[in-house]
Amino acid sequence: MQQDKHPEYRSVVFRDRSAGYAFLTRSTATSDQTIDWDDGETYPVVDVEISSESHPFYTGKARTVDTEGRISRFERRYGGAAPDSGGPGGAA
């Protein structure tokens, strides 16, 4: 690996303020802010908008799409079940 070509890879804390959640990992992300972590060390902290603790998919608060309305609208528009074409696999 060439020297001075790659960013520094170090321990960083990512913090989701909306969920009150923070985790320590390794990253090349930089920050001027620091935080004192549970192990007594001081690490740079990067604030993020959303994490697995606040994302609707991971928290189970995701909205479901109303597929029934779409199906009934399709059937009203195109007349319900598709007619039998009499082709391969169909009754002739």
The answer, yes or no, to whether residue 64 has pLDDT greater than 70, is no
Provide the pLDDT for residue 82: 57
With a threshold of 0.75, does the pTM exceed it? Answer: no
Extract the tokens encoding 51.
């994490």
The span from the CA of 41 to the CA of 7, in Å, is: 22
